[in-house]
Structure 1
């Protein structure tokens, strides 16, 4: 009955009246977002857990040595068990300025067993346009642990080939968002809905008449005056405007792996009757030994003895009236005493019969 407890809790939440949400919580302004940065670097100072068999690591270390003024003789490859080739990733927050610092994640891309105790050499961080936006360097903090013994046995705790460096990169270039000069700023809803977009438009126009217009189910265009200071003040006020989002579309979400079923409050049913019962067939196999009479020529024989029984539970019929709500659906399914797997089968049958007015989504 655990599934019904979950549905009852969801019913209590869904039956409450819709409350207003702030504009900042249901969408974002176009261009005001983070940007992904990546880089290829070298981690040194490892305790013999690097990947010295990788040719591109050797080439990278020769390049690093060359930049430091050290030219290795031709044909000489340094032993690099204390170094590892890594990929460095980071998110550049919106409006980041040169000199600010951001966190980075460092992940091994070769055969390194662990990055614990390593230090990242100065690494450029590139954006999608191929430009350098940050420089990364620092000592890694690794949460995982990897240990290997001489007999080949190994022990790993978490992931020792990935680490982080808090504030490990310095921003070198700001992203041009056009915030202060773009003639139109666009506000995008997190979930597409025409009614919600219209309500956001009306709420903004009530505060700033004629500013907003709905372009589609996601975007509301804002015509704003030039100037970063003026726009910042107006957007700060717009973000705090309260809007009542439209009711979500009727959906039934089924998690096929865990058996979880979630029904939102918008689900309705046409008139339908649901009957659910179980038939249990039981076969008991026993062996019977037959002994011959004394002083006879007979032999002991083993004969099978089977017993077959069939039991059918009393089936209940639940009547779902026209426009039945979530509470009625839960009450009817509780009456039938169905399991999560049976619940999915019933909902699919109702959908096939045309009685379930909702979209079924299997994840």
Structure 2
């Protein structure tokens, strides 16, 4: 058994950031399928014509050079409130397992109740097969999914089943959060691309055997009501994950207001833009009105972010991550614990017994770690080159990145999964 402990020494040399002015241009798209008329409120020109004109937006704002701006449609930065996906779930049973199912009383009671529903009375204590497993079934219904639409479902064991490979999910019902309505049903073969083999002295497996994704394994039975407009006549644009910067929200509101003056405003939470819908705009035109500004392009800035998964060693670095110059020393203390039991045999005809005495060997070694100077890195390739110079494994690199962030060298937020 080996344990590795990382100790980091970091010295940061901060350098001032340079700011530069950037001007922004935007493609203005005005509605051309509605008739011109007077506004119903909020200073809007309702039923304005849709016309496409390339017009400069005027002077921009000061932005630091280390931020990378990308021209993207508004729909890439925000989502429309009321058009979210909805989680549904239920419990079911997977049958046909080759002796890898549950062994407890839960699956016996579950199957006994299911058989009674089919008019087959059975005593739960008489069920002893390990070819069944109780599972949790989860899915998501998207906005506008109609009855009969097929959706993906996720199946996972909740008992001591060893594998779902080769099983079949019996028909089960999926409910909403309050378990009030059945929104979908799920059934069918369970496939998870997992393999396993075992013998008397060991076993081997590939991928996770107790979780499976069933593509199109569920069928929508009930539509979830959705609406893009609130009761007060507003459309709410909420920031997508990782896009909720103040500059992004202000850019969205600015783009909408250039098309429909006074229609949009940023809410006080800084993550939502509220857009007024003209009072005299027919409901059938709400989607066209919404689409007219969702397709507008803005200059979006993504917050610098590094995503790490300490369980798998996966590291994801965004293209706008920067490094300040500094120095890093990293080394490892390796603790090795080896168990070598010693067998003691008694002398012949002594009447003694064979005994096994535990024996533990412990060794501690410290790896040398030189102090490495790192230069400033302002592009993703430069960041990758600098980190590769350290020669650390992915798991060690996670600790290094966290220490660099604490030392002020890493210009990014670190999120651990």
Q: TM-score, normalised by structure 2?
A: 0.58
Instruction: Give the number of equivalent residue pairs.
Output: 293
Aligned position for 1:221: 274
Higher helix share: 1
1:176 to 225, 250, 253: 225
Counterpart-to-counterpart distance in 1, 2:317 and 2:175:
42
**Aligned pairs for 1:1-363 within 5 A:** 18-51=69-102, 53-73=103-123, 76-131=125-180, 132-149=182-199, 151-179=200-228, 182=231, 183-190=233-240, 191-216=243-268, 217-225=270-278, 229-246=284-301, 326=378, 339=390, 351=408, 361=414
Counterpart-to-counterpart distance in 2, 1:152 and 1:347:
45
Offset of 1:105 from its aligned partner? 1.5
Q: Retained in 2: the 8 A contact 1:261–1:344?
A: no
Which 5+ residue runs of structure 1 have no aligned equivalent?
A: 1-13, 278-312
Q: CA distance change for structure 1 residues 358 and 156 in 2, over 3 Å: closer, same or farther? A: closer
Which 5+ residue runs of structure 2 have no aligned equivalent?
A: 1-64, 330-369
Q: Retained in 2: the 8 A contact 1:196–1:245?
A: yes
Offset of 1:350 from its aligned partner? 7.5
Q: CA distance change for structure 1 residues 196 and 71 in 2, over 3 Å: closer, same or farther? A: same
Counterpart-to-counterpart distance in 2, 1:255 and 1:227:
48
Aligned position for 1:309: none
Q: CA distance change for structure 1 residues 359 and 84 in 2, over 3 Å: closer, same or farther? A: closer
The structure having more radius of gyration, on CA atoms, is: 1
Aligned position for 1:8: none
Q: CA distance change for structure 1 residues 28 and 71 in 2, over 3 Å: closer, same or farther? A: same
Cα-to-partner distance string for 1:288-325 (whole Å, 9 max, x where unaligned) = xxxxxxxxxxxxxxxxxxxxxxxxx9x9999x9xxx99
Q: CA distance change for structure 1 residues 15 and 42 in 2, over 3 Å: closer, same or farther? A: same
Offset of 1:79 from its aligned partner? 2.2
Counterpart-to-counterpart distance in 1, 2:299 and 2:94:
51
Q: TM-score, normalised by structure 1?
A: 0.66
Counterpart-to-counterpart distance in 1, 2:96 and 2:403:
61
Q: CA distance change for structure 1 residues 339 and 168 in 2, over 3 Å: closer, same or farther? A: closer
Counterpart-to-counterpart distance in 2, 1:70 and 1:259:
50
Counterpart-to-counterpart distance in 2, 1:59 and 1:253:
47
Cα-to-partner distance string for 1:310-342 (whole Å, 9 max, x where unaligned) = xxx9x9999x9xxx9948xx89x99xxx84899
Counterpart-to-counterpart distance in 1, 2:314 and 2:153:
38
Tell me, what secondary structure is at the counterpart of 1:141? coil
- Structural RMSD (CA): 4.3
Counterpart-to-counterpart distance in 1, 2:272 and 2:107:
47
Counterpart-to-counterpart distance in 2, 1:160 and 1:316:
43
Cα-to-partner distance string for 1:6-63 (whole Å, 9 max, x where unaligned) = xxxxxxxx77973421101111111211111211101112222221x22121111111
Q: CA distance change for structure 1 residues 94 and 317 in 2, over 3 Å: closer, same or farther? A: closer
Counterpart-to-counterpart distance in 2, 1:360 and 1:242:
26
Higher relative contact order (CA 8 A, sep 6+): 2
Offset of 1:236 from its aligned partner? 1.9
Offset of 1:240 from its aligned partner? 0.7
Q: Retained in 2: the 8 A contact 1:134–1:169?
A: yes
